[in-house]
Chains A and B, each alone.
Chain A
């Protein structure tokens, strides 16, 4: 099986890594770079727990090969807070009590941040649509949706 050297910017850091052809971006983040905030919930692009930003767009990192991100930019949950300041949606998800087990939370926050980047003032239905690929079994979602709306109101 082939190996490839790639260079990729992750959370603002330039990394040069050798990756196997079948290594997914998810496994690269978790296993090679020890960025374990991105979670593996299904490895099939269905649960959204592994969502990261690839060149600003949210992707299921289990559905991207590491070799494909050569020369590109990735932001993970570890890169969401800037200069010690939580992202506004990290703050509002805390305030709304929208975290329980927390396993879906990183992917949920990345999807929410991506939505607010492309649409700073989404309607409730637009929030629903943007988060429909992030499964949560604990919260019943409504507090999560409210926290994205609250973040939009405040930014």
Chain B
């Protein structure tokens, strides 16, 4: 048994940078991820037959040769699973039936005694497809001329805040009509109008998607999955199989990176489908790295047309914002990203007149899903650059321009919601100061150009209005605490933060708290999903309430035993103490066995359990035509990022010298984990902005490997990556906390683009902001020859 060196006791851990709970397992190789779970020799291996055609009608599927291959145990096709599934819009099949809609779409699957045999069987399945005209551009896809990808859109089930337009490829049309933008533009002295194209990118968790499914003797189905959403998955599997939720059990161990792609359900359905016909044998399906790139959720491409105007003093007056989201072959999740693009469409700016049309468009590209930021990297890529252009146009200091227009507490924002207090001004000031913004720095060599960029962002958790959390707190004989939650540890450190919250609320040392894992929908309390940067706030509230419930039970027990009012008692350092008598008693034993009454007159108390739940109750829907309503979202996390960089004019290469990111997190429950999220998020943002693009040609991804799809390595880091935060308390967050998981990568495209412009005097607007693109832009502009 390997042990860490120090035994410490951290009292009042909220606000302290305690060590993560999960590190010892993770540095010794003991941490169990889904692919590490042993299943023995009965395990079958699943592989998927995929469409080579972007859009077409399936004429024939013949798997007789595959079926005859020794070792092949199960073959399933779309005819076995006719039910439509989907998180928001139910428009997706597990296997294509009559029609294929993207290259890589599952058509059939095989389970065999080895991966090699399954792979051979896949090659033996014959599929004939008649190609149809396809849609590869979202803007075109939204027109009347585009071929229809989902002729049955009118019949699909969806919640009442999603607005499909039947008879078109528009799966959701979200509108904002605030004030009168058309009139307001007439009063503007300066207007910027610009179109941006943000390409598809991938999440690239180092752990590829994996799921194992097995039918139990009683017919229930157990699924082990690398999952951000065990409970949403349970619900989706149940619908796919036409059974009730209680017939499904999802067990989700550590996740080797999620970033949104392991939210909702994708390939996990294939494992369930195969297992449902495998006679009780477990079936494992694991994506190859190549499949990870083009068959699963992607970050949607976006075409955005922005028009923003201000008066001579630099006050923003009007915005027109038209977004074409490339939802892909199915928009079950993407429709809500489009909605987020709409209700966040102003960015963190106070703009009185806004017209927004956010369109989620079916295309014959891979299916869009959640990706860290949920549309905000793409949206802000455009807004941040437009604000930079506008400030320059009116000759105003860029920092002053941002500060003048940044949204503040009390403002009525784009959806008419009254803003809660935000520390955005302080974020901007801190970045400007840390970066010496406005000061031109010397270059390191004659062939280099240096520049700085700045930008601000906001993001609200994007979720149904009633996304709930729950938690249970149990005390053990030794006074230690076990916390059960349904949210997932995906690397962000949520188990650690939950332990801090439980310890603080209960009055015990952080080291006394353990989080029960893996999350298991049979035993763990409900959690909607581990997405939207919502756990610290939402699950944190549930854990706090559960710990307070346990605390109340303990104090009532001791109060009764001592004949004291519980309000005069406190728990400190694992002891119940009386504020009056200064008497104390250890939690050990009493939290399980209770306390004997004096004089051998029986017992008081017993095993201590605490329960807590949290669900926001105040989120209202928005008007379909105006996008206005009382409260569209729970809250916004805001922040500012600045970058100082150099460009090599002989190659176009960017070298980021310094990055500064400052976000208003409400309250940092664990300051070091907050900084780690900001640092890592910035690098992910920088990587996606500079290097990353799914090169889709006629629907085929040309670079589905690490050789051809590059992400940042140790050699691509800025010299300084500074992460800071401010704390403007959230009224309904635990100790004032709100989320920070996604936000750090959302400003980076726009801020980099602004810094590039400052360095070379040429706007390179659309990512990837590659060396090639920058070099050729300088060449075209005559900056070099």
Contacts and interface: CB of A to CB of B under 8 A. Distances in A.
A76 B707 CA distance: 25
B679 A105 contact: no
B491 A44 contact: no
A128 B715 contact: yes
B1 interface: yes
Contacts of A134: 714
B714 A109 contact: no
B673 A84 contact: no
B377 interface: no
A100 interface: yes
B315 interface: no
Contacts of B31: 102
Given A102-B22, A102-B491, A140-B721, A36 B711 contact: no
Nearest to B288: A43
A78 B33 contact: no
Given A44-B289, A129-B715, A143-B676, A103 B28 contact: no
A144 B714 contact: yes
B4 A86 contact: yes
Does more than half of chain A's interface fall in helix, strand or loop, or is it mixed? loop
B207 A99 contact: no
B581 interface: no
A4 interface: no
Given A47-B706, A101-B491, A135 B35 contact: no
Given A131-B714, A143-B676, A104 B29 contact: no
B4 A139 contact: no
Contacts, number: 172
Interface in B658-703: 672-673, 676, 679-684
A140 B711 contact: no
A100 B680 contact: yes
A147 B2 CA distance: 19
A43 B289 CA distance: 8
Contacts of A22: 116
A101 B259 CA distance: 11
B29 A49 contact: no
B120 to A, nearest CB: 12
Interface in B467-497: 490-493
B684 A140 contact: yes
A69 B609 CA distance: 53
Given A42-B706, A77-B29, A101 B490 contact: yes
B179 interface: no
Interface stretch (B250-258, B400-408, B418-426): B250-258
Interface in B6-28: 17, 19-20, 22-28
A135 B713 contact: yes
Contacts of A67: none
B257 A90 contact: no
A107 to B, nearest CB: 9
A102 B254 contact: yes
B27 A94 contact: yes
B714 A145 contact: yes
A131 B712 CA distance: 12
A40 interface: yes
Interface in A31-47: 34-44, 46-47
Contacts of A38: 29
Query: Which of A22, A42, A46 has the most C-beta atoms of chain B within 10 angstroms of its own C-beta?
Result: A42
B36 interface: yes
B717 interface: yes
A140 B492 contact: no
B305 interface: no
A140 B2 contact: no
A6 interface: no
Contact of A101 (B28, B256, B679, B684): B256
A97 B20 contact: yes
Contacts of A133: 713
Given A44-B706, A44-B707, A128-B714, A94 B23 contact: yes
Given A44-B707, A97-B676, A103 B2 contact: no
Contact of A140 (B4, B715, B717): B717
16 contacts: A39-B33, A39-B206, A43-B289, A76-B29, A93-B23, A97-B673, A100-B676, A101-B205, A101-B255, A103-B256, A103-B257, A105-B27, A109-B27, A135-B204, A135-B713, A137-B257
The 5 closest A-B pairs by CB, nearest first: A37-B29, A101-B491, A103-B256, A102-B26, A140-B683
Given A47-B289, A97-B673, A137-B684, 11 more contacts: A36-B32, A40-B35, A42-B705, A42-B706, A49-B206, A77-B29, A81-B28, A100-B680, A102-B256, A103-B33, A142-B721
